[in-house]
Chain A
Amino acid sequence: MFDQPDDAVERMARHLRQPVRIDPALDERVMRAIATLPTPVRSTAGVAWSWLTRPRRLTLTPLGMVAAAAALAAVVLLYRRGPGPPVLPRTDTRPFQFVLVAPRATRVSLVGDFNDWDATRTPMRRVRATSSLWSTLIPLAPGRYRYSFLVDGAHWRADPAAPAARDDEFGTPSSVVTVGGS
């Protein structure tokens, strides 16, 4: 759960997880307050809707299963139109390269939706020992990912070569990459 198992933040979380006792007199105050309110009785329409949409466990007899299969086949045959859309080949992850120019950096990490924004999981390497180019190659499944570079463990940098994320609520510069499915 934590980057460093015994760090102070975990100790803090353990402390906060301890049970808290709230004055039981609160129950009485709540009950006094609701005594003046109308009873929250469900309307007939609400009950009916819940009954209709409630998940159910069905037990089928062999005869029932045959009938259900026949009904399903009939529905499929009735609504089938031509050969249908082509079946797409299974999409797998593909290697995706991220690059950043950072001449003065001593370490760079790639962080994003694909690694839970964990700076320890995807360190980047200099392309050559003296190069200012940092790079990493990671497998990505098709999808849209938000990411950023963390330089020297403190400075967030968006990818200058990619679109900026528009939904960044935290002031951290980040970028977006979309990995296609074909």
Chain B
Amino acid sequence: MAAAPTRAEALSLFRSLLRTARQFSDYNIREYTRRRAADAFRENRALGDAAAAAAVFADGKKQLEVAKRQAVVYSLYAPKAKSIMEMKLQ
């Protein structure tokens, strides 16, 4: 069984997920990915069980790969109009 990830490893994965989330051109997907990463890390922050923490960490790494791939795919289909949420309202 893999060892539990260290605090630095977990924070590094979180940062990588947020960085990847930022690359989505679609506001909704960008915000969802960011929110999903933050929620998942909060939900699992207190996992005491080393095996469970390792499993969750491995899943997070898999999700990071998915997000990276999807960011590339979605960049080919970038929305033509911005979301109203992105516009600076006067």
Q: Is the pairing of A and B real?
A: no
